[in-house]
């Protein structure tokens, strides 16, 4: 593996200084953005950014920290979304947040089942076997219309976003709702990576035989990683469905979505919570810039199909260029830049 350097407290600075940027960012996100942002910013950029970041955090726990590559993230997003939808639909008076949590728990349970092959398979064998989750879940959600309350094509519609009597059903409301959920779960994930369990994830990833020689149950660690990761990815899926798209069908959680989440993790940086946000920012904003740029440069000379294909080439090329230039991801780049500025 590459140098999976975890962020270290910078020497010569007090511990709180390292957390200052995060505190500042949160203050801006909660205190400034809601007042200055417009609908486009919330609906088209920030809400999908937050949901994808959370999915990236979830997958990073599994792939970056515990070293188990999954190509089925979108399936766990779908399970989270559809399970939340059904819990809220079918249990009278169930609070929204409880519905989200139950959706996450369902995703964790499904993740546990599809994580079982990890006890025997490694590397690409495991990665490919997680595709079983991807295809099976998508098939089941489309096939059995019970999951979508009888909708023939499996489409579900978001429940009202109301927590403790406060409605979040506006652009800024959906943004704040996502922000709260993502901030809380990210904090939990960050705490996890600093705990004994988080260290055992890394131990199993780096040297599984040495880990078990220390009494760490490799089996338990792997399954726990699948469960915790799937929980977070599942809640991210529910956010994606309820706060961003608001009507969603199983096809919205296809293999491309899974690859997208994996891109976020790789481009952001493996084993880095911050990296998931950087990667998600890249993935959300970059295509917007590209299509704006394409329209500005080429105008209406070409149809949308041409533009779409050109965009595909550029995105693919950039991914390759990025991997060559910065294999350790954006978080390593940022770490280098901040270090240089501090010294």
Measured distance CA(284)–CA(270) in Å, rounded:
19
Q: Which of residues 119-148 bind other proteins (CB under 8 A)?
A: 120-121, 123-125, 127-129, 131-132, 135-136, 138-139, 142-143
**How near is the Cβ of 11 to other proteins at its closest, in Å?**
8
Residue 6 in the binding site for other proteins (CB under 8 A) = yes
Q: Which is nearer to other proteins, 36 or 209 (CB)?
A: 209
CB of 18 to other proteins, least distance (A): 13
Among 59, 62, 69, 172, binds other proteins (CB under 8 A): 69
User: Does position 19 bind other proteins by CB under 8 A?
Assistant: no
Give the residue, chosen from 320, 336, 339, 342, that forms a contact with other proteins under the rule CB under 8 A.
320
Q: What is d(CA 215, CA 290) in angstroms, rounded to the nearest whole number? A: 51
Binding piece for other proteins, criterion CB under 8 A, among 4-12, 31-39, 43-51, 236-244: 4-12
Smallest distance, other proteins to C-beta of residue 200, A:
6
Give the nearer residue to other proteins in terms of CB position, either 235 or 262.
262
User: Minimal distance in Å, beta carbon 334 to other proteins?
Assistant: 18
Q: Which residues, numbered 179-238, are part of the site for other proteins (CB under 8 A)?
A: 188, 191-192, 195-197, 199-200, 202-203, 205-207, 209-218, 224, 228
Of residues 161-190, which lie at the interface with other proteins (CB under 8 A)? 188
Stretch that binds other proteins, among 8-16, 34-42, 274-282, 288-296 (CB under 8 A): 8-16
> Interacting stretch for other proteins, rule CB under 8 A, among 2-10, 24-32, 77-85, 174-182?
2-10
Residue from the set 93, 313, 340, 343 that interacts with other proteins by CB under 8 A: 313
What is the CB neighbour count within 10 angstroms for residue 136? 14
């Amino acid at each position: 593996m590459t140098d999976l350097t975890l962020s270290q407290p910078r020497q010569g600075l007090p511990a709180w200084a390292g957390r200052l940027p995060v505190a500042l960012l949160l203050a801006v996100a909660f205190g400034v953005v809601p007042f200055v942002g417009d609908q486009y910013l919330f609906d088209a950029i920030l809400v999908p950014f937050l949901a994808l970041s959370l999915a990236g955090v979830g997958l990073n726990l599994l792939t970056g920290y515990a070293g188990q590559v999954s190509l089925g993230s979108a399936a766990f997003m779908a399970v989270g979304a559809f399970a939340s939808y059904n819990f809220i639909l079918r249990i009278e008076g169930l609070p929204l947040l409880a519905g989200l949590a139950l959706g996450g728990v369902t995703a964790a349970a499904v993740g546990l089942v599809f994580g079982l092959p990890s006890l025997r398979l490694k590397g690409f064998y495991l990665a490919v076997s997680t595709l079983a989750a991807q295809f099976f879940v998508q098939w089941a959600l489309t096939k059995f219309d019970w999951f979508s309350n009888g909708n023939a094509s499996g489409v579900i519609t978001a429940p009202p976003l109301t927590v403790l009597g406060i409605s979040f059903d506006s652009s800024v409301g959906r943004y704040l709702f996502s922000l709260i959920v993502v901030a809380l779960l990210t904090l939990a994930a960050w705490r996890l990576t600093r705990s004994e369990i988080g260290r055992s994830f890394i131990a199993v990833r780096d040297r599984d035989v040495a880990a078990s020689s220390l009494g760490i149950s490799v089996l338990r660690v792997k399954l726990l990683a699948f469960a915790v990761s799937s929980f977070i990815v599942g809640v991210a899926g529910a956010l994606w469905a309820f706060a961003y798209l608001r009507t969603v069908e199983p096809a919205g959680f296809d293999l491309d979505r899974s690859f997208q989440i994996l891109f976020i993790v790789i481009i952001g940086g493996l084993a880095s919570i911050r990296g998931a946000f950087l990667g998600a920012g890249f993935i959300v904003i970059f295509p917007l810039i590209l299509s704006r740029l394409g329209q500005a440069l080429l105008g209406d000379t070409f149809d949308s199909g041409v533009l779409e294909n050109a965009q595909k080439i550029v995105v693919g090329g950039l991914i390759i260029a990025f991997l060559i230039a910065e294999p350790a991801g954006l978080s390593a780049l940022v770490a280098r830049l901040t270090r240089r500025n501090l010294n």
